[in-house]
């Protein structure tokens, strides 16, 4: 077994050092994070719709 197979597939992202960022940079960073959260929420909604469609198809 290779060592790569033992490593987690999705490694957690490294945390950014916020102490070196200016207020404007921190605000922009928050905006970008909120946009990413929105993208993730939209993907969850889409996947739930797909699953709901598949569930209704197979329950017939």
Question: In whole angstroms, what is the distance from residue 46 CA to residue 43 CA?
Answer: 5
- Range list of H helices, the chain: 3-6, 23-58
pTM for the whole structure: 0.65
Identify the pLDDT of residue 25.
98
CB atoms within 10 A of CB 32: 10
Render each residue's pLDDT in the chain as its tens digit; 60 residues. 567 677 777 778 889 999 999 999 999 999 999 999 999 999 999 999 988 777 777 775
| Domain range list for the chain | 23-60
Identify the pLDDT of residue 1.
55
Identify the pLDDT of residue 42.
97
């Amino acid at each position: 077994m290779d060592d790569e197979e033992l490593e987690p597939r999705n490694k957690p992202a490294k945390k950014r050092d916020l102490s070196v960022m200016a207020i404007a940079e921190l605000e922009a960073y928050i905006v970008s994070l909120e946009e990413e959260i929105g993208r993730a929420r939209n993907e969850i909604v889409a996947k739930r719709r797909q699953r709901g469609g598949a569930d209704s198809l197979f329950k017939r």
